[in-house]
Amino acid sequence: MSEVRVRIDGDGLNERPDSDSRIVEPPGKQTRPRRRYGGVWFGAAMVLLVAGGLSLGGWRHYQAARELADSAEQARTAIPEVRVATVRASGDVMKVTLPATTTAFEAANIFARASGYIEKRHVDIGDRVKKGDLLAEITAPELDQQIAQAQATLAQNQAALQQAQASRELADVTNSRDSNLVKQGWLTAQQGDNDRLTLRAQQAAVNVAQSNITAQEAQIRVLEQEKAYQRVVAPFDGVITQRNVDNGSLVQAGSTFMFTLMHANVIRTQVFIPQDEAFGVAPGVDADIRVPEVPDRTFPGKVTRIATALQPGSRTLLTEIDVPNPDNSLSPGIYCTVELSIPRKTPSMSVSADALIFNQNDLHVAVVRDGIVHLQKVSIARDFGTSIEVRDGVKPGDQVVLNPPVNLVEGSKVAIRKPDAAPGEET
């Protein structure tokens, strides 16, 4: 028999079995269904929540549309503020920096002028010499023989001259004696003509002998000059930069390259100046030469000579600058930069690079006059990166817009923004 628990409620007795027990209702009492209100309240809350979200979203959309319309109206009617910069006139002197190359003030390739062998070489690469110093000696024994032969021939010619002079004197005496006898009739006219023509022939023989002597003396001088060329000497002060012969080398007159001598106490600097900067370059213009390997030193110089005519291919002007080099700090053939202070021939204006406007209508700047923007077409003369030199379109004192907005057009109204105060300065 199962255990039955009996619970007494307000309406009667109820039984609740533990496991398989049954609930026993009192006789004559009917069971009433239980009421549930949670689902209704939950549905109502969800409806109210959705309605509130929709209302809030609609309100926010309305506010956003209103703010957008207000912003568009404000942007349409507002005057933008812009930053400006003042156009300045360029200075009277134009600084130009260009690459250049150094060369020796004088340079000579020394060739052999006498044929023979190098008997003694006295200099080598890097040696500094003075004008007239002996560089090398050439020996040529056959040249000495030629000189001796020429001198012997000269002696023969001098003896022939003496003989011709004696014959001329005899012919002169004979002609003088016979001419009187011909006049007196003691001698025939034929004899007189023979004496006279013989004197003339002897005079011509004397002239030939004198010419032979002159020619032979000239030949001897040539040979002696070749003898002098056996001593190779320096034509000017300088340094030996190249040597191509050594003791015992065979050299040929006019074809053997022996030494290169450079005069480096003055350095000649060559620079090619473009056409737009060449006008105004003239002898006497100041120049500063700088070498990358010597960053703490500037070598001053002046323009010494210009080519006058520009090279057709590159449209550049060859310019030479002489730089004193007493301590030999500069060497021929090095790369350097030259800063020229060229007097300006054509006026130009300096404009900030931030003011340029590039579009399909060419290059412009926005000039502000009485709060109105005017787009001015300009042409660039020189570009310095942060600033631009222009030839026309603006004048000194004009105010140009910096970093102009894309919607800036001709006739736009703008307000000039006041410059920011410097640190520590009261605004």
CATH of the domain at 332: 2.40.30.170
Domain shared by 276 and 308, yes or no: yes
Cβ-based neighbour number of residue 50 at 10 Å: 10
Final residue of a structural domain among 310, 343, 376: 343
Q: Give me the percent of the chain exceeding a pLDDT of 90.
A: 32
Predicted local distance difference test score (pLDDT) of residue 16: 46
Which tokens is 363 given?
Answer: 């290059």
Domain shared by 151 and 222, yes or no: yes
Q: How far apart are CA 303 and CA 265, in angstroms?
A: 17
Domain shared by 322 and 351, yes or no: no
Residue 200 in any domain: the answer is yes
Domain shared by 145 and 224, yes or no: yes
More confident of the two residues 72 and 243? 243
Residue 265 in any domain: the answer is yes
* Beta strands 349-352; 387-390: pairing state: antiparallel
Which tokens is 159 given?
Answer: 């003896």
Which secondary structure element, helix H or strand E, spans residue 54, and what is its range? Answer: helix 38-77
Residue 424 in any domain: the answer is no
Domain shared by 187 and 223, yes or no: yes
Asked if 263 and 326 touch (Cβ cutoff 8 Å), the reply is no
Domain shared by 284 and 329, yes or no: yes
Q: How far apart are CA 368 and CA 287, in angstroms?
A: 40
Residue 217: domain span: 141-229
Domain shared by 219 and 146, yes or no: yes
Cβ-based neighbour number of residue 216 at 10 Å: 19
Residue 128 in any domain: the answer is no
Final residue of a structural domain among 343, 362, 388: 343
Cβ-based neighbour number of residue 173 at 10 Å: 12
Domain shared by 206 and 272, yes or no: no
| Residue whose token pair is 């209702």 | 25
Predicted local distance difference test score (pLDDT) of residue 51: 74
pLDDT in tens, 299-330: 999 999 999 898 888 899 999 999 998 888 88
| 130-134, 276-280, 422-426, range with greatest mean pLDDT | 130-134
Predicted local distance difference test score (pLDDT) of residue 216: 92
- Number of structural domains, the chain? 3
Q: Is the pLDDT of residue 37 over 60?
A: no
Which tokens is 237 given?
Answer: 């002060």
Predicted local distance difference test score (pLDDT) of residue 289: 94
Residue 50 in any domain: the answer is no
Final residue of a structural domain among 207, 229, 251: 229
Cβ-based neighbour number of residue 277 at 10 Å: 18
Asked if 337 and 321 touch (Cβ cutoff 8 Å), the reply is no
* Beta strands 415-416; 81-82: pairing state: parallel
Residue 127 in any domain: the answer is no
Residue 39 in any domain: the answer is no
| Residue whose token pair is 């004559």 | 28
Domain shared by 225 and 291, yes or no: no
Confidence at 420, pLDDT banded by 50, 70, 90: low
Please name the amino acid found at residue 44: A
Which residues neighbour 398 within 8 Å (Cβ) at sequence distance 6 or greater? 86, 87, 367, 369
Predicted local distance difference test score (pLDDT) of residue 77: 59
Domain shared by 371 and 313, yes or no: no
Q: Is the dihedral of CA 211, 215, 218, 224 positive or negative?
A: negative
Q: Is the pLDDT of residue 135 over 90?
A: yes
Is 131 exposed, middle or buried (CB count within 10 Å of its CB: 0-12, 13-18, 19+)? exposed
Predicted local distance difference test score (pLDDT) of residue 78: 66
| 205-219, 342-356, 377-391, range with greatest mean pLDDT | 205-219
CATH of the domain at 395: 2.40.420.20
Confidence at 336, pLDDT banded by 50, 70, 90: very high
Domain shared by 320 and 391, yes or no: no
Residue 147 in any domain: the answer is yes
Domain shared by 268 and 323, yes or no: yes
Asked if 346 and 337 touch (Cβ cutoff 8 Å), the reply is no
Q: What is the DSSP string of 303-353?
A: EEEE-SSPBTTTTEEEEEEEEE-TT--S-TT-EEEEEEEEEP-S--EEEEG
State the DSSP code for 311.
B
Asked if 323 and 267 touch (Cβ cutoff 8 Å), the reply is yes
Asked if 340 and 306 touch (Cβ cutoff 8 Å), the reply is no
* Chain centroid to CA 191: 91
More confident of the two residues 21 and 258? 258
